[in-house]
Every structure is written in structure tokens, then in C-alpha cells.
Amino acid sequence: MTTDPHPVWGKRLSDAPDGLALAFTSGRDVAGLPMADELLLPYDIWTNLAHVRMLQRCGILTEAERRELCRGLAGLEADVRAGRFRLDPGKEDVHINIEHHLTHTCGLASGKKIHTGRSRNDQAGTDIKLYLRDQLLQLADRAAGLIGRVLAKAPAELDAVMPGFTHYQPAMITTAAHWLTAWSQALLRDLERLCQDLEMLNRSPLGAAAAFGTSWGIDREYAAGLLGFDAPEENTLDCISARGEHEARAVAALSFLMNHLATMAQDMILLSMPYYGMLAIPDRFVTGSSIMPQKRNPDFAELIRGRAALCHGLLVALLGVQKGSMSGYNRDFQLSKYAAMDAFRECGDAPLLLGDVVMGMSFRHAEMRAKAVQGFMNSADVADLLARRHGLSFRDCYDLLSLAVKHCDAEGELTRAGMERAIAESGIPLRLTDEEVRLFNTPEALLAEKRHTGAPSRPAVEAMIASQTERLNALSAPIEALQARVLAARRACLADD
């Protein structure tokens, strides 16, 4: 039996749906959710490995006990990867499940010592920090990839004249490359924010115990290094009280990113509408209708807007969970885990998907240019040009152009006759040259006049592409270094030595 590549909408679309786009738009409609602590299993194994190694180093466990516990944990890691281990809800959480596995399933007497010098409070706090670090690293990597794709697209659009909008109305002339580098500049702020958040997050609560430390002679610095952290989070009471804060900060960074992705999505929706007709989105990223055969719906973009709102709601919930709590552990903190996981589950693929769309989309240059010479979008630029060349005030030239637009409305563009009538009525001592009249309705020439930093002229946008690429590389370096360090620390903990 063959599978219809167009599940619902028949033969309207030429390409089969993109797998990532289909999964993103289907979402939880057809996909189940894992247990929250199932997501933490790999991190709790790692936390246990680091704790066991630290206990042996401090003389609390023997070398033989360390070896058997590390082997038991490594075996559990293999079982988890192979899908052979499932959490037992009767054992409350991932921490008790693992301790029970070592003590009873593996028959290790040393399993009863694994909880020495710690509490589930610091253990859970460490697990969630490891989870958040991985999520933020992945998000930063995907954001960097999206920025790279936007910047790779921009050079081909340096001369692609198009309308710019304010209040959703045609406003002034710009280029597609200028539009793209606006996207990438916003995303670079997100990437910088993620780098800052990773630096703040990367301190270990392990060893804080229930919030008040332990009388055992532990080495928190050593355990922190085994987990790829920069250092321990110092005060043990604050280590535990901060549950929810780290989740909220991570989801705040995700919310800012989703806002920018939602802007990109809205731009794509509007520019690709038949009534705008300036952008083409490949068939593999759109959906059809179960009743209207002609439809091409940008569902992925609409869901990015919707999931941005969902992310905001989860952020507000996270801020509320930790508000007004007494210092120390409170069970409300458990809910922060679910909100953070939901946010990353719903939104984590968005930059990856948009990167694929950016690479596949194409601008319709003829339609863009045709619209750029409609609606008198050159008016402000012409007012600037006349004020600059003739030593006039901008406000006088603005008033002159207001009259000219009214007089030229029937023609749909600025004409010499309409301009001269406006000049006569305004009483401004101004004599137009033939070269100026030609400039009025040549968008490329008007754009070339804008030479300052960040403007839409070709040289200015080329400079932005270069500077943004340099900034992208600078921000990517510490992310890649942390990724490598985390991977090395995990491998070292799992090594059978």
C-alpha cells in the first residue's frame, strides 16, 4: 500500500508536506507527552555519577563502592537509551526510582549510601539546571542557524526594491535585504541573551542538601566540575529557594525569541498573500483545506504566533509560582518543571522550521518593484531630497509634497505638472531640474541616497551583513565551547575507569 503524500488536501500542492512542518502543525493533536521525570532520567543518572565520584574522592565511599555504583548507573544509562527502563509511578519520582534500581534491581548494598550528603531538593535542582542548560544550548544553536540562513539569503536581495510598511500601510521604499537584516539583527539580540542566560545558569546547586548544607566533608567544587558547571552556587539556602527562577529566566529568553519569530511569521503571512503577492513559500511548508481545493495556508506561521502567546502564559505562571515563597524548598516549585518543559516542547522547533522556510522561500521581484512605485511611498524621500538640495526646511517640503500627492492622485505617481502646481500654490521659491524629476519615481536612485549606518542602500546593507556575520561568529564561539565542555564532562563521568 502506498501512502498519499497529500493527506487531506488532494492534488493542489506539488510537494509532499515537510516532516518537521507537519509535526509542528499537528502538535499534541496526535502526539503523546512523556512523563516529566522521564525527561530528567539522563540528567539524574549524570548527577548520581558525579555525586558518587565526589563521595569516593572525599573518602565517604570506597573505591570498590564507587566502581560498582558507577557500573550500575552506566548500565542504567544503556537501558534508558535502549528503552528497557521505565519509571515506576509508585516510587514517586526519578530519584527514588534510580536509588531503588541500584539497591534492589542491581542488588548493590552501596546503593543505600548514594544519598549521603544530599537531598532530593538539591538533586532535583541540579537535574533541572542540566535540562535547562541543554535546552538553552540547543535553542542557541538553532537560533544561530536561523540567523546564518537569513544572512545567507540577504546578498541576493540587495537590489530587490520593495515597499516598507507602518501601521500595516505602505510607508516608504526599502529592499528585501534590508528587511532580512532586520530579522537577523533582532535574532542576534536573542542569541546574546541566551549566552548571558547560560553563563548565569551554569552554577551547581548540588551539595546544598535540603537547603542548609551537610556535616559530611563533601567537595562541591569537584562535583560541579564533573557536571560541566563553572562553580557551585554558593549559599545553600538560596540554591534551593531559586527553583523556578532559572526556569522563568530560560522561558523569558524563549519568549523574546518567539516574539521575533512571530514577527517573521506575520511578515511571511502578509507578504505571501495573493493580495500582496511579494513572497512565495514552497508547497511543502503550507497546507490545504479539507473543503476548499484552492487553498495554500501558512499554518506553520500562524502556529508560531500562537505558540508565542502560549510561551508568554507559561512565563507568567513561572513568575507566579515563585512569588512570595518563604526561603527554602516549597512543593509549589514542582510545577515550575512542567511549565518550562511545556514551553520548550511547544516552541523549541520553531527556529529550526523557520530556517528551512527562509532557505526555500523566494521574493517576487517584479511584483515588489511594481508595488514600490505605487501609493506615493517616495514622498518622504522626495521631501528630504528637495530640502537637502535647495536649502529648504523639511517642514516646508513636507507641506509641498502633501499638496503634490493630492494633485497627482489620479496619475498614481508624482508628475512634473503636479509638483509645479504644488510649488506655485505653496509659494516656495523652487525650480525643479530634469534630473530631480527623474529621481522622484526611481526607487533605486532614492535608496542610493541613504548612505548612513543601517540604511537600505546596497553599501549600507552589505556593511550590515558583514557586521552581523562577525557578531554571529563571536556569539557562536562560547556556545560551541560550552557544548564541547558539557559533552566531555558527561563522557568522563560515564567512563569505566
Bridge partner residues of 204 (DSSP): 232
Within 13 Å and on the Cβ side, how many CA atoms surround 488?
9
d(CA 404, CA 414): 7
DSSP-derived secondary structure letter, 18? P
Instruction: Indicate which residue of 289, 325, 426, 467 is catalytic.
Output: 289
Whose CA is closest to 362, among 279, 275, 271?
A: 279
Place of cell 509645479: 420
Is 289 one of the annotated active-site residues of the chain?
yes
Whose CA is closest to 418, among 441, 393, 385, 444?
A: 441
Is 115 one of the annotated active-site residues of the chain?
no
Whose CA is closest to 54, among 114, 108, 95, 100?
A: 114
- For residue 438, CA distances in Å to 215, 249, 410 come to 85, 54, 19
Helix, strand, coil percent content, the chain, rounded in steps of 5: 65, 5, 30
* Phi then psi dihedrals of residue 380, to 5 deg: -65, -40
Instruction: Indicate which residue of 14, 167, 215, 452 is catalytic.
Output: 167
Whose CA is closest to 25, among 285, 310, 351?
A: 285
Whose CA is closest to 368, among 152, 168, 179, 148?
A: 179
Give the chain's largest Cα–Cα span: 100
Helix count and strand count (H, E) for the chain: 19, 6
Q: Which residue type is seen at 124?
A: A
404, 377 contact by CB (below 8 A): no
d(CA 444, CA 158): 11
**Cα Rg of the chain, angstroms:** 30
Cite the active site residues: 167, 289
